[in-house]
Each structure stands twice: as C-alpha cells, then as structure tokens.
Chains A and B, each alone.
Chain A
C-alpha cells in the first residue's frame, strides 16, 4: 500500500520486507525493518527501539544534587553530557549562578567528550561501513605511503615501513582467528568501494585513533577527578584551583594545566592531519553515494551549547548554534524555547505507552511514562517473538518527540545546517571549504556522507574552542580569580518549596534536554528527551516519519540480505539507544539476524 506522509515521503510497504535485529555497533538495542521494491530500493522504513525506556522513574524522590551521578550511569557513551545537562537543569530550577572558571572547565570537558566521541565513532564504529580491513591485507605498503602523503602531507606517520608493520600486525590478528573486532562484516559486498591502500591507511588510523582517545579523556580525569564516570557538581565544578600547587594529587595546578594544554594540541593536530583528510579521501571514493539525507534538508533542531560566558544561554552567546529549521526553509531559523509548552512535545500514538487519549502531546515538564505494550493487527509473530512489526499501530519503545509538531533531525549535521543557515562564520568557512575541496554541490551535504563529514568538521572546530576556553581560563586565573564553585544555595533550606528547571546540551549525537521538577527538596518529576529519541522516533499521530526512517528511504541496496547500506546510514547518526530505551536482553543474539520476507 502506498501512503504519503505529511513531511513529504511516499511510503510503499508492498515489497519484500527485510528485518535487521539488532542493529550492531551501536550503544543499546535497536531494530529496523524496511520494504524494498524489485530493484532493491527501500520504499518503506520502520525503526524501533526494542527496550523499555525508564531512566526517569529511578530519579523520583532522589536529591536533585545527586541526579548527575545517576544520569551519568545511563549508558556507556555520553556519560558526561548527561551529567552536565543534569546539573544545568538543577541550577536553572534553583537559580544558581556558576563562576567563570567553572564555565570554561565544563566547556573543555564537554568539548573533550565531543571530540572523543566523534573520533571513536568514526574510526571504531562507523569506519567499518566504508572501510574493509580484510581488503587492507592486499595493499601495497609503498603505494599506501604515497596515498598518505598525498592525502595529508603534514602527517608524519607515512613511511612504507610503518604501513607494512601495521599490515603484518593485522595479518597476524586475522590469521589467529581473533576477528572479534571486525566480525559481523560483509567483506565481499560490492558496496565497499575503497582500494586496498585506502583500506590499509584507514585501518592504520584506527590504531592511531585508539592511542589518541586515551589522551583526550585525560581532560576528564584532570577536571573531573576521575575517569570513567568523572565527578560533577551543582554550582560549578568539583576541582579547586591552586595554580602554584605541586604534585599530581589535589587541586588543579600549572603542571596539570600544561598537560591539558598538550592534549588540546594533540587532538587538534589529529583532527587536522588525520580525521578530516580521511573523511575527504574516503568520501571521495563514495562521492556518488549520496543517499541518507532524510530530514536533514527539511527539518533540523539544535539546542546549542558551549556558552561563552557562565549562566548566559542566549543564542548569540553559544558557540554551537541553537535554532530550528522547518519545511526546508534555510532562510529562516527559528529560536528554540525548551520552556514553551507548545514547542517540544512527546507523542506516543505509535509508541508502547499511553496518555489515555489519542493524538495528545506532552511537554517534558508534564511528561508521563505509562507502558502499554500491544502489537498491531497486522504484526506477525507473537508478543515475545515478533517476526514483523505493524507500523500502523504502536511499534516502538521510543516516544516521538516533535518540535511544534515537526519531526526533526538532531546531531552534528543538524547543528551544521542550522549554523550554516544562521551564517555562523566558523561553520560556514568549514563547510564551504570542504565542498570546494571535494568539488561537491551544497545539496551533497544532505546525505549520510554529509552527516559523517559534519561530525569531522565539528571535531576540528571543537578543538579550537577547547583552546579558546583554556586560554580564557588561564587569563582569568592570572587576574586573580581561582573560584570554581558557588555553594550559596547548596543547602536545601535555601530552596523554594517547589521549583522547575531545564538543562540543555548538545550531546555528540544531538540535542539533549533534561526537565526537572523539585518539590520539598526532592525530585518530583524528571524527564530526559535524548537525541536518539528525536532521530529514532516512530511515526506520530499525523503520520510523519522520524529521521532514521526518512534517511533510509529510496536507498538502493546492493544485496538486500546484507544490510550494509542500512547500517551505514543508521550508524551515521551515531545512535545511542541505551538512554532512549531500556536495554536488558537475558539471551541477546550475538549476530545480527537479517530476515528477508
């Protein structure tokens, strides 16, 4: 049957149905079903979170000052971002002002997380959608060296011997049967287009990225006291500054700040010399594979982040842009107000929850989480073993958030589209430069590759911002301000009887908001609307499809039984289902099942 969605997509579910469950190399559990026509082109897409989402309920009745520690444990990826969003929500509710150094330190930590996540995502989760490490075994190390020097002349690691060593290591690893890292691949699929030398170069950078990521997170260890799961504090940051102190424990001193400074330089260098050149080189081989744009040319949402000054979240003060684009109109960027009950709303008509009446949307401050699991009349299988979902009914544990009723894409590409449309200078320069280098038109940005490229550009921009806030903090300390926390309102007796607040950040994978209600010193309601809820959302009561679903539409699959193209596009969102849904399969599958019906 063919249906037209209000947001401009033509769905046809008459073709062969392909089920991918779970989608691998992501955080959390996700399932995807598509219908392909006789030419292998995707004509209908259904994305579903297979687990119940329930992180809000555990916070009821807790001390608001502790919420960060719980939200940090939600998942294994964006821990610090949840913590930051949480302390911002509490500070907003209680009217707490943080000092200047705390703002700079939080920004450096948040930027470290962005850079870490972007690099790890590209090299360790997403690269395998484009790069074939098994094919790298056939590469000529000398030709790889020439390719490296052509792609990035200033990268020092480029000798034939260096690539030969890596190739030998890879060979040993593959021959020992320890394919663990590279299993679940479809290595002979014609969707892989790189020559062996590019595969070897990228696999080598996978190893370099592994070394670098260990350095990047030391920023968290230094400012957050520990890592994994660094410490945060309502009112500021939990690290005192004593610039003249000595030793490796205690307050932040010059020795540790020098280490932070050197890490910032290393990250910046890697972004410039390795990450961006790799995206350009790999992207060049896939320049005609411009599927996957989905909602990005139509509807993008960004809350913005990285405030220049503490306690000021007005849009012109944010280095990562805030705004909303709807109906594909890039000449108008709407401001976003997370407090407005008419803007952000969550719908559950196609989600396994109930609000008691159909078509109802709830603002997060009034959010409800009442599970209601039932399969539609056309679903196949049983309640415990679903063969095929019925997307005309309820079909996901993810709610459907909408901005003024519109399904939105969030994440690096959305931020860059919003930034570009607003005339953000750094973003505009980067995007124009990339398109010029790759000789691609502006519309090429609205694609899976565009999403992947935006992430690389953003990583590089974040490195520059890190340097900015490092210098800013040093100047501030030199001016005699060593303050890192404001504890005036630490004591609950200073709080109003009831308060509500909202915290917003840009997580690596997109706009993240926490809405809190506090009553008698305890959390009364806590709602998180996470990026993958936006991107992975099911249809809403109007029939609008979400960003994942839209991005898969009209993609040509080389071999429908091998979902390389589906994974490639879904991975480009860097999905994190752990916090958008609830994960706990007692006997999960080791390998992805792909069923063609």
Chain B
C-alpha cells in the first residue's frame, strides 16, 4: 500500500436501486451525505448502473472506496471489507448482476490506462433478496448501512481524511423521486405488480412451486 496520504478520494456507491438489495451501495452513499461532513477533496458519487461512464471519476482519484452488494457466499446481511488487490479479483469471482461485470471492466480498464487509484477499498454487504424487481432494501441489509458507513469513516480516517458530523452537499446523488424513502414508500402492491420469473434465476420461487 502506498505510504503517502491520498489527495483526492472517490466514495462510490454502485448497484441498481430497482433490484431490492442490489441498491445497497447507492443507498449507503445517499445516507453518508446526510450524516457525514466530508472535505472538498472527497467526492461522494452515486454510480448507479453505470460502467465506463465512471472511468473519469476513477482516474481523478488517488483512493477509491466502493459500497456494493456482493455475493460473498456468507449469511445474508453480513458486511465485509476488502482491500486493494482482493477487490477486482473478488468482484470477478461471482457475477450476479450486469453492473458488476461493468465495474470490474472499469477497474481493469483503469489499470490498463494507468488511471486506477493507488488504494482501493470495497465495503460489501451480502444481499438477502435480489429477486424482487421494484423492491427496496430488506431490513437485514438496511441495518448494515450504519455499520458500513462506520467502516467507511474509519477507512477515511486511516487515509488521513477528516470526517465530521453533519452533511455533505453534492449534486452527484440520485434524483429525489428514487431516493430510498420515496422509492420504498411509493411502491405498488404485489397484486398490482407481478413479481415472479424464470425458475433458473428465481430458485426460491422454484422451490416453492416444486
């Protein structure tokens, strides 16, 4: 790990908020903006479902902290922190959604162009539920937002970045209509919006009907 303190830091939340716990990373960043006062050299960014669009943000950062929902094969709701070389390797080990492939490719591309941040930390949460299109975070995963932010604050402190209580103003977050509160409370009922699918990809449903 490089000894010097990172000058510019990118705190990135990735995932698709429309797929239940897949939205974990984006929700962490939203919440962090409400709770933490971050200095100007830290950029808080909702990366959403994007791939290559994120490359310029990576290239301008010396250190990258990513929140994401990751399949670690651990009990649902478990939080894990990975650093540096373990990050891309792990993200490549299991591909559960398209954005991860995208982000893994972004990391590889940044390495190829020489623009990959010198430090890389991933704060990941094992999802409870992904098989719920239009759904919100499950309680066990929502409960990990606080601890995930605590991990992030500890990591930033180790990097020599002061984090205070308060808020961070940024235009880099999701539109108000799909922030967690509005999104989860405005959801139509299960009757109005059918939520099942292919047994190959919905093993839980397959088990019930078997």
* Residues of A that sit less than 8 Å from B by CB: 27-29, 50-52, 54-55, 57-58, 60-63, 65-66, 69-70, 73-77, 79, 120, 124, 169, 173, 178, 180-181, 207, 210, 213-214, 217, 225-229, 231, 352, 369-371, 373, 383-386, 397, 578, 582-590
Residue of A nearest to B15 (CB): A73
B98 near A180: Cβ-Cβ < 8 Å: no
A180 contact set on B, CB distance < 8 A: 88, 92, 104-105, 108, 111
* Residues of B that sit less than 8 Å from A by CB: 16-19, 22, 46-56, 59, 71, 88, 92-99, 102, 104-105, 108-109, 111-113, 130-131, 133-134, 171-172, 174-175, 177-178, 186-188, 192-203, 206
With contacts A583-B97, A585-B96 known, is A231 near B197, CB below 8 A? Answer: no
B111 near A27: Cβ-Cβ < 8 Å: no
A61 near B56: Cβ-Cβ < 8 Å: no
Q: How many pairs of residues, A versus B, come closer than 8 Å at their CB atoms?
A: 181
Distance in Å: Cβ of B36 to nearest Cβ of chain A: 20
A231 near B194: Cβ-Cβ < 8 Å: no
A60 near B193: Cβ-Cβ < 8 Å: yes
Question: A137 vs B71: C-alpha distance in the bound complex, in angstroms?
Answer: 37
B16 near A173: Cβ-Cβ < 8 Å: no
Question: A191 vs B18: C-alpha distance in the bound complex, in angstroms?
Answer: 40
B201 near A383: Cβ-Cβ < 8 Å: no
Residue of A nearest to B131 (CB): A584
A57 near B134: Cβ-Cβ < 8 Å: yes
B131 contact set on A, CB distance < 8 A: 584
With contacts A76-B102, A590-B95 known, is A52 near B55, CB below 8 A? Answer: no
A58 near B108: Cβ-Cβ < 8 Å: no
With contacts A55-B133, A178-B111 known, is A61 near B198, CB below 8 A? Answer: no
A173 near B200: Cβ-Cβ < 8 Å: no
B50 contact set on A, CB distance < 8 A: 76, 79, 228-229
Contacting residue for A587 out of B94, B109, B134, B206, CB 8 A: B94
B16 contact set on A, CB distance < 8 A: 73
Contacting residue for B134 out of A29, A58, A231, CB 8 A: A58
Residue of B nearest to A26 (CB): B98
Question: A582 vs B187: C-alpha distance in the bound complex, in angstroms?
Answer: 18
Can you list 14 contacts pairing A with B, beta carbon distance less than 8 Å? A50-B198, A51-B197, A54-B193, A60-B188, A69-B177, A76-B48, A173-B112, A181-B108, A210-B55, A369-B194, A585-B201, A586-B71, A587-B94, A587-B96
Distance in Å: Cβ of A395 to nearest Cβ of chain B: 11
A62 contact set on B, CB distance < 8 A: 177, 186, 188
A373 contact set on B, CB distance < 8 A: 197-199
Question: A29 vs B104: C-alpha distance in the bound complex, in angstroms?
Answer: 17
B53 near A227: Cβ-Cβ < 8 Å: yes
B200 contact set on A, CB distance < 8 A: 50, 383-386
A370 contact set on B, CB distance < 8 A: 194
Question: A294 vs B16: C-alpha distance in the bound complex, in angstroms?
Answer: 34
Contacting residue for A52 out of B102, B105, B109, B198, CB 8 A: B198
A73 near B178: Cβ-Cβ < 8 Å: yes
B187 contact set on A, CB distance < 8 A: 58, 61
Question: A207 vs B113: C-alpha distance in the bound complex, in angstroms?
Answer: 8
Q: In the complex, which of the residues B52, B92, B105, B192 has the most CB atoms of chain A within 10 Å of its own CB atom?
A: B52
Q: Identify the 6 closest CB pairs spanning chains A and B, nearest first.
A: A52-B197, A58-B134, A66-B177, A57-B193, A180-B108, A228-B50
B192 near A57: Cβ-Cβ < 8 Å: yes
B195 near A54: Cβ-Cβ < 8 Å: yes
Question: A74 vs B201: C-alpha distance in the bound complex, in angstroms?
Answer: 18
Distance in Å: Cβ of B142 to nearest Cβ of chain A: 19
Residue of A nearest to B173 (CB): A226
Residue of B nearest to A370 (CB): B194
B113 contact set on A, CB distance < 8 A: 207, 210
Question: A502 vs B179: C-alpha distance in the bound complex, in angstroms?
Answer: 26
B108 contact set on A, CB distance < 8 A: 178, 180-181
B203 contact set on A, CB distance < 8 A: 384, 586
A60 contact set on B, CB distance < 8 A: 188, 192-193
With contacts A60-B188, A384-B200 known, is A588 near B112, CB below 8 A? Answer: no
Question: A27 vs B50: C-alpha distance in the bound complex, in angstroms?
Answer: 11
Question: A369 vs B22: C-alpha distance in the bound complex, in angstroms?
Answer: 23
Question: A210 vs B19: C-alpha distance in the bound complex, in angstroms?
Answer: 29
Residue of B nearest to A56 (CB): B193
Question: A65 vs B175: C-alpha distance in the bound complex, in angstroms?
Answer: 12
Contacting residue for A383 out of B94, B95, B104, B199, CB 8 A: B199
Q: In the complex, which of the residues B95, B98, B194 has the most CB atoms of chain A within 10 Å of its own CB atom?
A: B98
Question: A66 vs B51: C-alpha distance in the bound complex, in angstroms?
Answer: 24
Distance in Å: Cβ of B203 to nearest Cβ of chain A: 7
Question: A51 vs B92: C-alpha distance in the bound complex, in angstroms?
Answer: 21
Question: A76 vs B48: C-alpha distance in the bound complex, in angstroms?
Answer: 8
B195 contact set on A, CB distance < 8 A: 54, 57
A69 contact set on B, CB distance < 8 A: 174-175, 177-178
Q: In the complex, which of the residues A62, A120, A169 has the most CB atoms of chain B within 10 Å of its own CB atom?
A: A62
Question: A77 vs B171: C-alpha distance in the bound complex, in angstroms?
Answer: 21
B53 near A228: Cβ-Cβ < 8 Å: yes
B105 contact set on A, CB distance < 8 A: 180-181
A352 contact set on B, CB distance < 8 A: 198
With contacts A74-B18, A226-B172 known, is A50 near B98, CB below 8 A? Answer: no
Distance in Å: Cβ of A552 to nearest Cβ of chain B: 23
B49 near A76: Cβ-Cβ < 8 Å: yes
Question: A583 vs B108: C-alpha distance in the bound complex, in angstroms?
Answer: 23
B48 contact set on A, CB distance < 8 A: 73, 76, 79, 228-229
A66 near B178: Cβ-Cβ < 8 Å: yes
B47 contact set on A, CB distance < 8 A: 228
A383 near B206: Cβ-Cβ < 8 Å: yes
A584 near B201: Cβ-Cβ < 8 Å: yes
With contacts A69-B178, A181-B109 known, is A584 near B49, CB below 8 A? Answer: no
A371 near B197: Cβ-Cβ < 8 Å: yes
A181 near B49: Cβ-Cβ < 8 Å: no
